[in-house]
């Protein structure tokens, strides 16, 4: 399986080690790639979102999953079930928008929209959480003791 996490903006230096650890841990389960897209430079928020939307839509594969606070709130076992349903050679893209969120067209073209929390989270933190949850999902599928309930 190929997994790609497309994120607008750079990650946090404080979270880099955490991200790196889970990026490595994903290796045995999937071909994982983290792709950073440039943040929009326009003065107006709507224009920045449009600049970022062009990049997201140019890079994201069909049926991508968008992380958004208004999305469906799923548990770790539901993530695992979703991954398990994918074909072995499937490519699954996850998208994290920029600090201002995403343009409506990005939300409309997403195959699914998931929320990590009812809280509004900084996009750098969403990166770290998404990586950990992807790893957790694979350990659930494998019956690995990492996921304790």
Q: What is the pLDDT of residue 15?
A: 95
* 24 domain residue, yes or no: yes
* 149 domain residue, yes or no: no
Q: How far apart are CA 5 and CA 93, in angstroms?
A: 6
Identify the CATH number of the domain in which residue 28 sits: 3.40.1280.10
* 148 domain residue, yes or no: no
* 64 domain residue, yes or no: yes
**Cβ contacts of residue 106 below 8 Å, gap of 6+?**
52, 53, 56, 57, 66, 95, 97
* 47 domain residue, yes or no: yes
- The arithmetic mean of pLDDT across residues 120-144, rounded, is 94
Which residue in 121, 19, 120, 108 sits closest to 56, CA to CA? Answer: 108
Sheet holding 2-8, edge to edge: 31-37, 2-8, 91-96, 65-73, 112-115
Is 149 a residue whose pLDDT tops 80?
Answer: no
If you search the block for the tokens 């404080």, which residue do you land on? 14
DSSP run (H or E) holding 54: helix 45-59
Domain, as residue range, for 89: 2-142
Q: What is the pLDDT of residue 2?
A: 95
Rounded (10°) angle between helices 123-142 and 76-85: 70
Tell me: the pLDDT tens digits for 18-64?
999 999 999 999 999 999 999 999 999 999 999 999 999 999 999 99
Window from 5-9, 30-34, 121-125 with minimum mean pLDDT: 121-125
Backbone angles phi, psi at 133, to 5 degrees: -70, -35
* 120 domain residue, yes or no: yes
Q: What is the pLDDT of residue 120?
A: 87
Which residue in 97, 92, 24 sits closest to 56, CA to CA? Answer: 97
Window from 6-15, 52-61, 140-149 with minimum mean pLDDT: 140-149
**Token pair belonging to 80:** 């695992």
Q: What is the pTM of this model?
A: 0.94
SS3 117: coil
* 75 domain residue, yes or no: yes
Structural domains in the chain (count): 1
* 125 domain residue, yes or no: yes
Q: What is the pLDDT of residue 127?
A: 94
Is 88 a residue whose pLDDT tops 80?
Answer: no
Q: How far apart are CA 45 and CA 76, in angstroms?
A: 33
């Amino acid at each position: 399986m190929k997994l790609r996490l497309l994120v607008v903006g750079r990650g946090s230096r404080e979270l880099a080690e955490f991200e790196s650890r889970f990026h490595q841990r994903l290796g045995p389960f999937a071909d994982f790639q983290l792709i950073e897209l440039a943040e929009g430079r326009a003065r107006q928020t709507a224009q920045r979102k449009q600049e970022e939307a062009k990049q997201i839509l140019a890079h994201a594969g069909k049926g991508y999953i968008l992380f958004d606070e208004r999305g469906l709130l799923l548990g770790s076992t539901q993530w695992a079930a979703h991954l398990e349903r994918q074909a072995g050679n499937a490519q699954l893209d996850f998208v994290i928008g920029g600090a201002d969120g995403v343009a409506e067209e990005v939300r409309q073209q997403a195959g699914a929209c998931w929320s990590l929390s009812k809280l509004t989270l900084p996009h750098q933190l969403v990166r770290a959480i998404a990586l950990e949850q992807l790893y957790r999902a694979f350990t659930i599928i494998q019956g690995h003791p990492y996921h304790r309930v």
